[in-house]
Structure 1
């Protein structure tokens, strides 16, 4: 968050409460009404519609701030697209992660042809400003066509089975899609997932690969990064 001005100025609730509500909503599979109930249990009476407005206003800023502060992602990218049905019409959610499971970017599009693949590649490169060593995709021909034009020198591996890392990364979005009873529009899906993916991913710490002490240290670093990104400490 910007240090030159106070983005929370003029709000009735303290910045700590706003921060906590947005964190709860995007870090866990909670509805807006469930976040309202959790806050009410702690003596904070606020409507779910207000929490929605906080998420829209501050969530994307938090997500962008986290992305700016993260270490440089890995050089091996896994790309995958899954279908998303919005108001009866089929769309596709494109996602890229690195070899460490960090979400690099997401994009909701109406097609999965070569033009759509090129658009996603360009969005990735524009946001990350470097070229990967390897990209791993399924056997969709659009990836190969786009890669030949945009990333001709990059190694490309295509397999149904090498891309599990990205397929697993889609699961939180799938849970939220069901919880929200599907997205209302392609713009709504893009707006929500562009916020949700960086925040949720920031706290996915691969606990199964860490000892208890390593996990606690990693968790503390994640909370410190969150505090720096939002400018507000988490409510204890």
Structure 2
């Protein structure tokens, strides 16, 4: 259970506010106005603190509870502006478009790619194959993972395919993330960007049916992740 001790607002209000922000294309000031209309007086700075504090915790719970995914992966990066500079959002989905993992990185290189693959495998297990674009750093990262698998005796190697059109499902999936982040007008700090994107990814996973909803509204499985 995520601890909301010390918060000056009810847990239900905090979670609903976070969900609205990460699910719909609104700014903090827009959300502040929406909440006022609902009788909740909270300023945009407080809303930001809620997202930065709680969204990563909810994302960690979502990874634990999401439905099983396929063993054929699609991996690519998209761009997110932080402090006026482009950073790299590493993302992976399975062949059916189900979210596997995501990671914001200040750099696009071998170390970042290897770190992302190790993280994704720790959560989802070793895939049978991974489709990537022509990125040399992503290819080198996968080769590094295969070396680790070989020398640790973890079984088969990962098949690597560099076929751009097979990544169309991921390219389409990027669009949801970009649509939600566009009204945010860039991020002021890397940690707040990473936290916000974690929440956006969870809302997207719920939208795709990866989190059991039991016929509930979209907000209810999000709040259930904090239980």
User: Is the shorter-chain TM-score for this pair beyond 0.5, marking a shared fold?
Assistant: yes
Q: RMSD over aligned Cα, in angstroms?
A: 2.5
Is 1:22 matched with 2:26? no
Q: Map of 1:94-109 to 2, 5 A cutoff? A: 94-109=90-105
- Give the count of matched residue pairs: 216
Is 1:147 matched with 2:142? yes
Is 1:89 matched with 2:93? no
Is 1:166 matched with 2:161? no
Is 1:134 matched with 2:136? no
Deviates more, 1:30-39 or 1:185-194: 185-194
The TM-score with structure 2 as length reference comes to: 0.82
How far did residue 135 of structure 1 move? 0.8
Is 1:64 matched with 2:60? yes
Q: 1:45 to 1:189 in 2, by over 3 A?
A: closer
Q: Secondary structure at the match of 1:162?
A: helix
The TM-score with structure 1 as length reference comes to: 0.80
Asked whether the equivalents of residues 66 and 199 of structure 1 are also in contact (C-alpha less than 8 Å), the reply is no
Asked whether the equivalents of residues 205 and 218 of structure 1 are also in contact (C-alpha less than 8 Å), the reply is no
Q: 1:24 to 1:93 in 2, by over 3 A?
A: same
Match of residue 189 from structure 1: 193
Q: 1:69 to 1:41 in 2, by over 3 A?
A: same
Greater length-normalized contact order (CA 8 Å, ≥ 6 residues apart): 2
Asked whether the equivalents of residues 84 and 91 of structure 1 are also in contact (C-alpha less than 8 Å), the reply is yes
How far did residue 80 of structure 1 move? 0.5
Asked whether the equivalents of residues 180 and 200 of structure 2 are also in contact (C-alpha less than 8 Å), the reply is no
How far did residue 100 of structure 1 move? 2.8
How far did residue 133 of structure 1 move? 1.3
- Give a deviation string over 1:4-44, Cα, whole Å, max 9, x none: xxx23333322221121111111111211222222222222
The whole-number CA distance in structure 2 between the counterparts of 1:14 and 1:54 is 12
Asked whether the equivalents of residues 40 and 46 of structure 1 are also in contact (C-alpha less than 8 Å), the reply is yes
Is 1:179 matched with 2:179? no
Deviates more, 1:184-193 or 1:55-64: 184-193
The whole-number CA distance in structure 1 between the counterparts of 2:191 and 2:217 is 33
| Unmatched runs of 5 consecutive residues or more in structure 2 | 148-156
Asked whether the equivalents of residues 19 and 222 of structure 2 are also in contact (C-alpha less than 8 Å), the reply is no
Q: Secondary structure at the match of 2:89?
A: strand
Match of residue 160 from structure 2: 156
How far did residue 191 of structure 1 move? 2.5
How far did residue 78 of structure 1 move? 0.7
